Amino acid sequence: MKRIFILSAIVCSAISGFAQTDSAAKPKVDTLKIGGMVIIREGGGKDEKGQERKSFTITGRHNDKPSNVSTNWWILDIGFSNYSDKSNYASLTPGVVAPGIVKDDMKLRAGKSRNINLWIITQKVNLIEHVVNLKYGIGLELNNYHFDNKDIQLNKTNPVITEGFASRSLKKNKLAADYLTVPLMLNFDFTPNRHGKHFGMSGGVSAGYLYSSRQKIKDDGDVDKTKDDFGLRNFKLSYIGEISLGPVRIYGSYAFKSMFENGLDITPYNVGFRFSNW
């Protein structure tokens, strides 16, 4: 009996020694998960003071499903502004445009007419398995329409459009129309778990309020600005769309009706690139 007890004690001591050796060979690893973040603490031996070394590794769990409500701040659009002019200048109410003004006089310089949108905040709400979502937001829509005919002058009173700058040699002549806009779209995301590389499309409508409009001309280095609504509608309703091709996003908009409310049938539209996370 005594021999069995002594033998058991020797075996237990040996097992304890092997366990200590194995523990020293394999440092302890602790894992902590916080939301989409994983923190790994791992022991790495002892330093010169005999204290255990500890290292931390922080990683993200990219395979997690996206949040049901996600927010994007400060989305930027850069593109081109233009319009479709279907006005019948010969049958316009007298006094809307000056005699002799025709459709060609209202043509724009396509490469110079630019659109810049700054969306202050945009949110996406999951509707069906993160594939079908609702997108909405608020931001500023800035449009610059550069006239090819630099003699065109927009007036505060009738006639609204004349060739009032014919006696001057202008280098620039543009109409700026800026809106506070709220978009609402139904979004289809075909790759909801691919962060930053989404493939999908969106479509909907937007409502914009005209908060600033002005005509700006440049003549031999001098710049003149005339601020007025020039007969523009205070509100603009538009069809809007977006295509996401991985990191590349393309947007477009087309207004419901003419930007003017005095008989001119000039419907604005925009197209360009969107810089956004989704």
Closest by CA position to 142, among listed 243, 72, 212, 230: 212
Closest by CA position to 187, among listed 134, 240, 252: 134
pTM of the model: 0.76
Q: Where are the domains of the chain?
A: 26-64, 69-275
Could you tell me which CATH number the domain at 69-275 has?
A: 2.40.160
pLDDT one digit per residue (tens) for the chain, 278 residues: 555 455 455 445 544 554 454 444 455 666 665 545 566 766 666 666 666 666 656 665 544 567 899 999 999 999 999 999 999 998 888 888 999 999 999 999 999 999 999 999 999 999 999 999 999 999 999 999 999 999 999 998 888 899 999 888 899 999 999 999 999 999 999 998 877 678 999 999 999 999 999 999 998 878 999 999 999 999 999 999 999 998 899 999 999 999 999 889 999 999 999 999 88
21 SS3 class: helix
| Residues β-bridged to residue 271 | 80, 252
| Residues β-bridged to residue 100 | none
Please report which residue ranges of the chain form alpha helices under DSSP H: 2-25
Closest by CA position to 174, among listed 148, 145, 210, 142: 145
Instruction: Give, for 79, the enclosing helix (H) or strand (E).
Output: strand 69-85
**Pairing mode of beta strands 69-85, 52-60:** unpaired
Q: Identify whether the C-beta of residue 154 lies closer than 8 Å to the C-beta of residue 174.
A: no
Instruction: Name the CA dihedral angle for 214, 220, 222, 228, rounded to a multiple of 10 degrees.
Output: -20
